[in-house]
């Protein structure tokens, strides 16, 4: 299945210490959780935070700095290929997703 996701980030919320210089420019790493089945009251399907550093650990909660919205879903392609559902859950992410 192919999906198109629009990502909106409030760039004023990106801490300068999280921006790093790479070979071709300046970068920041983000994490996003997207729910393909539901949207919130604003039409968003997920949220964006800064990616956690190794030092911050698993239990650190970072502020939401943006949202994601699915604008395209190729459900027909998924039906044609007959992609099976994952056999095992990835993990318990429900506790971190606010919707």
Q: Structure pTM? A: 0.68
Q: Which helix (H) or strand (E) holds 80?
A: helix 75-81
Query: For residue 2, which of 48, 29, 36 has the smallest C-alpha distance?
Result: 36
Q: Does the pLDDT at position 76 exceed 90? A: no
Q: What is the pLDDT of residues 17-75, one digit of tens each?
A: 999 999 999 999 999 999 999 999 999 999 999 999 889 988 899 999 999 999 998 87
* Domains of the chain, residue spans: 2-81
Pick the closest to residue 53 from 80, 84, 25, 15 (CA basis). Answer: 15
Residue 84 carries which DSSP code?
P
């Amino acid at each position: 299945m192919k999906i198109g996701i629009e990502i909106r980030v409030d760039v004023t919320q990106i801490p300068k210490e999280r921006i790093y210089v790479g070979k071709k420019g300046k970068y920041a790493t983000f994490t996003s959780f997207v729910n393909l089945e539901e949207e919130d009251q604003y039409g968003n399907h997920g949220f964006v935070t800064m990616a956690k550093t190794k030092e911050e650990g698993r239990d650190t909660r970072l502020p939401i700095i943006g949202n994601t919205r699915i604008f395209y879903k190729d459900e027909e392609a998924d039906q044609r290929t007959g992609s099976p559902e994952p056999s095992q859950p990835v993990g318990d992410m429900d506790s971190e997703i606010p919707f």
